[in-house]
Amino acid sequence: MQLFDLHCDTLYKAYTEKGSVVHNDYHFSFEKALQYDGYTQVMAVWIPDEYRGEAAVNLVEECAALLKKQMNSNCGFKQANSFNELENHSHNVVLSIEGGAALNGKLENIKRFRKMGVRFLTLTWNGANEIGDGILCDNPKGLTEFGKAAIAELEKNGIIIDVSHASVPLFWQTAELAKRPFVATHSNAKAVCKNLRNLDDEQFKYICKIGGIVGINFHRFFVTDSGVADFSDLHRHIEYFLSLGGENVLALGSDYDGAEMPPCIKGAQSMGEFYNYLLRHNYSENIIRKIFYTNAYNFCKNFDI
């Protein structure tokens, strides 16, 4: 069994708690993931909305330095700075940034972060930054002029645009400007759970149309309106997105160590149980492999061609 997870906050958690990404009692660790035949984890540097200016830039640099320091020949994982480095049955980390405030309003920081190995950038977190408005902004206007320039520069530098947390105007303005497929690394179906963070049908169908990917988020309040959730509720999101044509689009975006998991998910070690749950509910192994690994793997490999 192989896994490709588009979003976790373990690196930020390890940084703030002076912990380890290799061995810990968090949702994700390299140690937990080595039980699988292959595992690629996109590790985000989360930029809280109170971080702005040079503090946001420094946070990315310090988290990236921590990751580099903790990765060694014995950890079993390697950082993939290019998607061409990804191989089946290997264990990889891909660096991402969750929050465009990390750019500090300077386009030159995009190239700077790309050289550090950043391959995904979530345009906003919940609030506003120099790029535009997040999903919790009042009266959102979407992208700023800087944000429009940043879209082009991100694509020029091969950094994948992530619209999880984006306001609705920002999503559709990004759709108008982007020349390459973009993604929602950790977002669910609004038709199943009404949380503002989830995607409506038209947003999901647009990502399908352009050949992007969408990662199913395990945060219990994005899974059900009540916050009480189990595998059957995650199954409902998968089933709904599949009904909209998402067979080659759906992936996993766990939100490990940045969200509250349902009781059925203790962490990365629980994915075998989820895999078997879907098998028992009449999903073919081919479909489950696509969701758990192949769709995200193929998207990333094709992105660098």
List the chain domain ranges: 2-303
Is residue 248 scored above 80 in pLDDT?
A: yes
pTM over 0.75: yes
Closest CA to 238 of 228, 223, 225, 227: 223
| Tokens matching residue 304 | 């660098």
**CATH 2.60.40.10 assigned to 2-303:** no
pLDDT of res. 72: 82
Closest CA to 99 of 118, 78, 121, 115: 121
Is residue 60 scored above 90 in pLDDT?
A: yes
pLDDT of res. 43: 98
Is residue 305 scored above 90 in pLDDT?
A: no
pLDDT of res. 177: 98
Bridging pattern class, strands 91-98 and 38-46:
parallel
Question: How would residue 230 be classed by pLDDT, with cut points 50, 70 and 90?
Answer: very high
Q: How many CA atoms lie within 13 A of 200 on its CB side?
A: 9
* pLDDT per residue as tens digits for the range 114-161: 999 999 999 999 999 999 999 999 999 999 999 999 999 999 999 999
* pLDDT per residue as tens digits for the range 76-90: 999 999 999 999 999
* pLDDT per residue as tens digits for the range 166-219: 999 999 999 999 999 999 999 999 999 999 999 999 999 999 999 999 999 999
Helix %, strand %, coil % of the chain (to 5)? 40, 15, 45
Check: CB of residue 188 under 8 Å from CB of residue 199: yes
pLDDT of res. 134: 98
- The predicted model gives 263-288 an average pLDDT of 98
Bridging pattern class, strands 118-122 and 91-98:
parallel
Closest CA to 12 of 52, 55, 62: 62
Mean residue pLDDT of the chain comes to 97
Is residue 97 scored above 80 in pLDDT?
A: yes
pLDDT of res. 227: 98
- The predicted model gives 235-264 an average pLDDT of 98
Is residue 74 scored above 90 in pLDDT?
A: no
